[in-house]
């Protein structure tokens, strides 16, 4: 609920009554508790100290002033240090009528828009996308829409990690054991085929490690003595030196992966404004590292490796270039950050990356500052918790990940099974039913991922996510479809339900209306906290509240035309807020289920 228009009146009242000046930011207004009469509550305790008067007396004095000077107020009640204000019926009906014709409702005004670059996905080209990537993509895409809803300019970017030792492992395994296999020959998506060889490399590598340990070598020694690992490192050196054969194999296998990624992104419903490639940014990163050596920000050891000494910052020494001249992840991230700044001159460079990389991005910002980049403070690590399964964490090398494509297929199949068992497909042809299955399956997946506080580690349960009666995407979708059904039966346009609203609001109608009008404030707060979860849980609570209202009140058989119009208007606003909220989450809502 956004009744901030009353704040200047409170400031004026305090000045006239107590001859004191209040700063608007010292005034705390909040929605009145459901078990207490009133719509809006003013917290009086801090004002009472300035008034040098008891909280109850201060509240009564301000209540009298507001009642005399605001025609929208009906009454007030003082409960200790809280002033509960109740607005007149016509005020609420006017707010509802205004919201219905406001096409920008739910998008808070913004006097200070920022340009924000948001990086998400950031896959490696040695394996397909998995469950962890799904959470990353959904968070990044939803955060982008949330920031756009708050009036900011957003550029969505992806950084593809297309070079490095991990990519060389897949390439080497294919070269040794692939026998010329291609995605077409194998009947596999390209990213799946390349991922198969990444797992195969690790299988052979672990066999080598076991043999080396049997003859007495330590864990550290086997990393250096493993013939496979030595070959992979040599392939990386050859790649960085421009070896034609290695580059050709790299281009071919990466092309397979990109085709696979594109198909997964399209099915997941995410996209990007620009894609960066590590292979195109690491050289700039190496030049920045050399710049740091020249100006004393970094130093070179006797073996030729380059380091940053961060011990004075309470951290450690960070490797920036290996002794053989090859780069590390930090090298390319320095280059990418510089390139991204040059491209967009953004106010914020947001990196949607799991919390296991907290240290990495702390170091990145510090290194950019040491290089004298005044925009180093624009780096913002959007740190989020990992997705875990009942059996524990996933491991790509061992092939124990939940594949993104397989998961989406499973979610769609589960949605189909549950829809059929609940009889929600009556009257639909095959193509319409198939589209609905996809929509429900993706909604279940996306909502389940996004309703959790991003900072928390989450346990993924596919079956629970498709429940039509719980805190799930399908439940919210069904609520929207139910409202659309009501309007079809009424023969009324959902987008233009009524022209005028009159009458009285009962307790349930009033509560639902106040929840509806809280939507812009929810979007604003979610944007400030970078939390799509706030939007997700608002939409669920709204859907739950509407269903309680629907069970208790007849809409089409209301006791009067006046009540019917009011309830249709409330229902239309519920549908709109659900659509807008779910859009921010990247979720479609059907008109029928």
Mean pLDDT for the stretch of residues 546-562: 95
Rounded to whole angstroms, the Cα distance separating 522 from 528 reads: 10
Rounded to whole angstroms, the Cα distance separating 464 from 451 reads: 13
What is the DSSP pairing of strand 82-87 with strand 73-79? antiparallel
Rounded to whole angstroms, the Cα distance separating 200 from 552 reads: 60
Mean pLDDT for the stretch of residues 295-318: 96
> pLDDT tens across 427-476, in order?
678 888 889 999 999 999 999 999 999 999 888 877 777 777 889 999 99
> pLDDT tens across 227-276, in order?
999 999 999 999 989 999 999 999 999 999 999 999 999 999 999 999 99
Give the pLDDT of residue 399: 47
Spell out where 376-510 has E strands: 379-384, 387-388, 458-459
Range of weakest confidence among 10-24, 86-100, 406-420 = 406-420
And the tokens for 10? 């409170």
Phi-psi category of 19—alpha, beta or left, where left has phi over 0 and alpha has psi -120 to 50?
Answer: left
| H/E stretch holding 351 | strand 348-354
> pLDDT tens across 95-133, in order?
999 999 888 888 888 889 999 999 999 999 999 999 999
Per-residue CA distances from 273 to 74, 114, 120, 220, 349 (Å): 51, 17, 11, 43, 14
Per-residue CA distances from 103 to 108, 149, 417, 494 (Å): 12, 13, 37, 13
Give the pLDDT of residue 209: 87
Q: How many CB atoms lie within 10 A of CB 282?
A: 24
Same fold, 120-388 and 404-584: no
Q: How many CB atoms lie within 10 A of CB 314?
A: 6
Please, which residues bridge with residue 348 across strands?
Answer: 116
DSSP states of 57-118 as a string?
HHHHHHHHHHHHH-TTEEEEEEETTEEEEEE-HHHHHHHHHHHHH-TTTTS---SS--EEEE
Mean pLDDT for the stretch of residues 68-90: 94
Please, which residues bridge with residue 432 across strands?
Answer: none
Can you tell me which residue has the tokens 């007030």?
Answer: 76
Give the pLDDT of residue 222: 80
Give the pLDDT of residue 398: 47
pTM of the complete model beyond 0.85: yes
Mean pLDDT for the stretch of residues 157-164: 94
What is the DSSP pairing of strand 40-43 with strand 82-87? antiparallel
Q: How many CB atoms lie within 10 A of CB 36?
A: 11
Per-residue CA distances from 490 to 558, 564, 568, 572, 579 (Å): 12, 10, 9, 12, 20
And the tokens for 20? 């004191």
The CATH architecture that domain 120-388 belongs to is 3-Layer(aba) Sandwich (3.40)
And the tokens for 419? 């829809």
Domain boundaries, the chain: 4-87, 120-388, 404-584
Mean pLDDT for the stretch of residues 48-70: 95
Q: In this model, does residue 395 exceed pLDDT 50?
A: no
Please, which residues bridge with residue 157 across strands?
Answer: 119, 274
DSSP three-state, residue 327:
strand
527 vs 402: which has the higher pLDDT: 527
And the tokens for 571? 């229902």
Q: How many CB atoms lie within 10 A of CB 305?
A: 16
SS3 content of the chain, % helix, strand, coil (to 5): 60, 10, 30
Mean pLDDT for the stretch of residues 165-193: 96
Instruction: Answer whether CATH 3.40.50.11720 is correct for domain 4-87.
Output: no
Range of weakest confidence among 217-221, 327-331, 367-371, 390-394 = 390-394
Q: What is the CATH number of domain 404-584?
A: 1.10.730.10
Q: What is the DSSP letter of 6?
A: G
Give the pLDDT of residue 420: 75
Neighbour-count burial for 100-109, b at 16+ CB within 10 Å, e otherwise:
beeeebbbbe
| Residues whose CB falls within 8 Å of the CB of residue 445, separated by 6 or more in sequence, listed in order | 134, 407, 408, 411, 462, 465, 473
Per-residue CA distances from 472 to 153, 445, 579 (Å): 30, 9, 15
């Amino acid at each position: 609920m956004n009744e901030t228009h009353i704040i200047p009146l409170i400031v004026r009242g305090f000045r006239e009554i107590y001859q004191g000046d209040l700063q608007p930011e010292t005034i705390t207004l909040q929605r009145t508790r459901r078990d207490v009469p009133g719509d809006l509550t003013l917290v009086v305790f801090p004002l009472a100290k300035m008034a040098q008067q008891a909280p109850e007396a201060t509240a009564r004095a301000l209540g009298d002033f507001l009642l005399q000077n605001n025609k929208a107020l009906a009454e007030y009640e003082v409960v200790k240090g809280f002033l509960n204000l109740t607005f007149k019926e016509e005020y609420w009906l006017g707010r509802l009528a205004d919201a219905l014709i406001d096409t920008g409702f739910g998008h808070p005004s913004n006097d200070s828009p920022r340009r924000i670059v948001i990086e998400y996905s950031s896959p490696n080209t040695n394996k397909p996308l998995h469950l962890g990537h799904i959470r990353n993509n959904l968070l990044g895409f939803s955060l982008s829409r949330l920031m756009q809803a708050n009036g900011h300019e957003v550029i969505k970017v992806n950084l593809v990690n297309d070079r490095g030792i991990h990519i060389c492992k897949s390439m080497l395994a294919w070269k040794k054991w692939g026998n010329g296999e291609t995605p077409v020959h194998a009947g596999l998506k390209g990213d799946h085929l390349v991922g198969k060889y990444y797992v195969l490399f690790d299988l052979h590598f672990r066999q080598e490690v076991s043999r080396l340990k049997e003859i007495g070598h330590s864990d550290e020694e086997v990393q250096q003595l493993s013939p496979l690992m030595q070959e992979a490192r040599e392939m990386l050196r050859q790649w960085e030196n421009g070896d034609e054969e290695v580059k050709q194999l790299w281009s071919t296998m990466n092309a397979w992966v990109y085709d696979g990624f594109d198909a997964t992104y399209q099915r997941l419903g995410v996209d990007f404004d620009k894609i960066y490639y590590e292979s195109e940014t690491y050289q700039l990163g190496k030049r920045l590292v050399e710049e740091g050596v020249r100006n004393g920000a970094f130093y070179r050891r006797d073996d030729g490796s380059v380091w940053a000494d961060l011990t004075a910052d309470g951290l450690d020494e960070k490797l920036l270039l290996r002794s053989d001249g090859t780069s590390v992840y930090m090298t390319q991230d320095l280059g990418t950050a510089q390139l991204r700044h040059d491209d967009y001159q953004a106010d914020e460079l947001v990196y949607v990356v799991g919390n296991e990389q907290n240290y990495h991005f702390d170091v990145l910002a510090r290194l950019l500052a040491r290089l004298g980049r005044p925009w180093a403070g624009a780096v913002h690590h959007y740190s989020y918790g990992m997705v875990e399964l009942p059996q524990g964490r996933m491991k790509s090398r061992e092939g124990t990940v939940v594949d993104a494509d397989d998961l989406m297929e499973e979610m769609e199949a589960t949605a189909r099974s549950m829809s059929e068992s609940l009889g929600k497909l009556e009257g639909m042809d095959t193509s319409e039913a198939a589209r609905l299955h996809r929509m429900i399956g993706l909604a279940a997946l996306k909502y389940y991922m996004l309703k959790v506080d991003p900072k928390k580690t989450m346990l993924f349960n596919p079956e629970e996510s498709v429940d039509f009666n719980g805190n799930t995407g399908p439940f919210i979708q069904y609520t929207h479809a139910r409202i659309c059904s009501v309007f079809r039966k009424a023969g009324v346009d959902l987008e233009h339900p009524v022209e005028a609203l009159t009458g009285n609001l009962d307790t349930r109608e009033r509560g639902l209306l106040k929840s509806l009008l809280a939507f812009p404030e929810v979007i604003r707060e979610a944007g400030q906290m970078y939390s799509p979860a706030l939007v997700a849980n608002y939409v669920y609570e709204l859907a739950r509240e509407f269903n309680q209202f629907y069970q208790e009140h007849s809409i089409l058989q209301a006791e009067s035309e006046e009540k019917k119009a009011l309830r249709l208007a409330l229902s239309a606003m519920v549908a709109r807020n659900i659509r807008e909220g779910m859009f921010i989450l990247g979720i479609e809502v059907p008109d029928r289920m």
